[in-house]
Amino acid sequence: MFSPIRIALLLFFAALMAGGIYIFFFRELGSGGSDDLRAILASDVPAQSESGTKSKALDDASIQSGESIGEDDPLREVFDLLERDDGPESMERAEALMQTLLETRPDEAQVLLAKGRLLYMHQSKPDEARPVLEQALKLSPNDADIHFHLGSAIGLDLMMSGAGMMRMMREGPLAVELFERAAELNPGHVDSRMALCMSYLMMPAMFGGGRDKAEEMADAVLYLDRAKGFFAHASIHHQQGELEEAIASFQKSLAEDATDERVHNMLGYALIQAKRPMEALPHFEKVVELKPHEANGHDSLGDGLKACEKFEAAIASYDKAIELDPEFSTSVAHKAELLIELGREAEAAEAYRYLLSFEDSSALAESARDFLESQ
């Protein structure tokens, strides 16, 4: 499941920017989105919020989705369920509540925000989330959280759809503008600053990004939230290949909050890259402990077990990921690759044929076809 900050934030947006690293050079082409959305982004940030209070200072606490909603409002429960993401049952409950809310309160911005979050974060449907979140933004154009989630949905949509360069140049800048506007509207909005940190890191300085700007944004996150700030700095070190510095910063993040599975996950991979796989394994196990219902954690544990040469256990972990999400192509491919390494080509071919039964246009699918054609 996707969740702001819990997503490996953007890991997905970092991947987006890596694929379209020059999009800021073409900012004038950034005309993606509706005319209404472009008009909202072109407008001035109000000196006061819609509630009449002054804009928040950097040291104010960030207001996230649902925090200003009454305790007895069913919408509050929806936001709580989305944030906790306790598994399929909690998402079924959220969907049922959303259905009623959409029938009775279809024109409320916060209801549409919750629906958009459900679509892109938990149902992997960013293309369907985008018009819902655009409508929410029209209804509440000064809401930082809506800006952030619309930008995230756009970024995820571009990544999942395999967008070409022209579409990246057209819509990528729009996502970054939404993150920047979110940070303008609410300087204490941690998620938007995390997204900007990752975005700036992947862009050259001449196009508005660069390491210095990324570190400046990471410092702002550190001021607001120490655990997430250390994570932001660790991500910068990791992306730059500075493994020991990255490991140290990931560990500082966990010292502040040991329950963040994405930090355990990334620390595990950094330790594998540093040739310390036995130290990585407990972190992957912690990911599974914290999010047992998510396929990605079991896939990561499989990678850790493979690095420790515990091959049968690794295959079992990949199988568990596939059981939880039958179309989790990464685990299917990882299993096939390991089977090939073990000389079990017939089993690998079976795994690759299964992958091609639901995916046919990705790099993983191309690798599967190449292997099957070689047999």
CATH number of the domain at 28, please: 1.25.40.10
Range ranked top by mean pLDDT from 74-78, 183-187, 314-318: 314-318
pLDDT at 220: 94
pLDDT at 14: 42
> Can you tell me the mean pLDDT for 81-86?
82
Is the whole model's pTM more than 0.85, yes or no? no
| Residue 338 lies inside a defined structural domain of this protein | no
Beta strands in 254-370, from DSSP E residues, in sequence order: none
Look up tokens 């966990």; give the residue: 254
Distance of CA 341 to the CA centre of its chain: 31
| Residue 208 lies inside a defined structural domain of this protein | yes
| Residue 335 lies inside a defined structural domain of this protein | no
| Residue 347 lies inside a defined structural domain of this protein | no
| Residue 327 lies inside a defined structural domain of this protein | no
User: With bands split at pLDDT 50, 70 and 90, how would you rate the model's confidence at 86?
Assistant: confident
pLDDT, tens digit, 9 for 90 and up, residues 60-74: 333 445 456 777 889
Q: Which of 80-94, 101-115, 228-242, 244-258 has the lowest mean pLDDT?
A: 80-94
| Residue 13 lies inside a defined structural domain of this protein | yes
User: With bands split at pLDDT 50, 70 and 90, how would you rate the model's confidence at 285?
Assistant: very high
pLDDT at 346: 96
Strand partners, 54: 48
Is the predicted pLDDT of residue 198 greater than 70, yes or no? yes
Domain count, the chain: 1
Q: Which of 13-22, 164-173, 251-260, 329-338 has the lowest mean pLDDT?
A: 13-22
Nearest residue to 17 (alpha-carbon basis) of 192, 223, 156, 190: 156
| Residue 373 lies inside a defined structural domain of this protein | no
Q: Are 112 and 135 in contact (CB under 8 A)?
A: yes
| Percent with pLDDT over 90 in the chain | 62
CA distance 152 to 134: 12
24: tokens are 């800021």
User: Which DSSP symbol is given to 241?
Assistant: T
| Residue 345 lies inside a defined structural domain of this protein | no
Residue 73: give the domain boundaries.
1-224
Range ranked top by mean pLDDT from 11-15, 49-53, 156-160, 331-335: 331-335
Count of residues making up the chain = 375
What is each CA distance from 288 to 10, 260, 261, 264, in whole angstroms?
Answer: 20, 11, 8, 10
| Percent with pLDDT over 70 in the chain | 81
CA distance 295 to 298: 5
pLDDT at 207: 72
User: Which DSSP symbol is given to 52?
Assistant: S
Phi, psi at 48, each rounded to 5°: -125, 150
